[in-house]
Amino acid sequence: MLEFLIPAAHAQDAVPAEGNPIFSLVMFGGLFVMMYFMLIRPQKKRQKEHKDLMGSLNKGDEVVLTSGLIGRVINLSDDYLTVDTGTVELKFQRVAVHAVLPKGTIKSI
C-alpha cells in the first residue's frame, strides 16, 4: 500500500574486514586502562582513605556523620561509636563517620 514511500532495499556487497586485529586488541586494552584510571582507581583510593579515617578515630574527636550530625566521640568499639551531640548520646556504626573536624569546631558553631 505505501510501498512507494519505502525504497526497495538492495543487497550490498560484503565489505572485507580491513585492518590489523592487533590494533583492535590494543584499542580494547587502552579502553580498559582508561576506565581503570578514571573509575576504579579513584574509588579504591577513596575507600582506603575512609578505612584509614575509621582506624584513626579516638575518644574526644569531633566528627561529622553522613547524616550531617555533628558531635564528639565518647565511646568506641569495633563496629560502633557513641556520639555526644550536646543534648543526647547516640550510637552509630563507625562507617557513618564522614569526616573528623578540628578540635573546637563544635564550640564555634
Same domain, 40 and 84: no
Residue 13 belongs to a domain: no
pLDDT reported for residue 5: 61
Q: What is the mean pLDDT of residues 47-61?
A: 93
The count of domains in the chain is 2
* Sheet of 70-76, strand order: 89-93, 80-84, 70-76, 62-65, 97-101
Question: What residues make up the domain containing 28?
Answer: 20-56
Whether 4 shows a pLDDT value over 90: the answer reads no
Same domain, 109 and 65: yes
Residue 73 belongs to a domain: yes
Same domain, 51 and 64: no
Confidence of residue 6 (pLDDT cuts 50, 70, 90): low
Same domain, 76 and 108: yes
Rounded CA separation 82/57 (Å): 12
Rounded CA separation 93/76 (Å): 10
pLDDT reported for residue 102: 94
Query: Could you tell me what percent of the chain has a pLDDT over 90?
Result: 69
Contact between 72 and 61 under an 8 Å Cβ cutoff? The reply is: yes
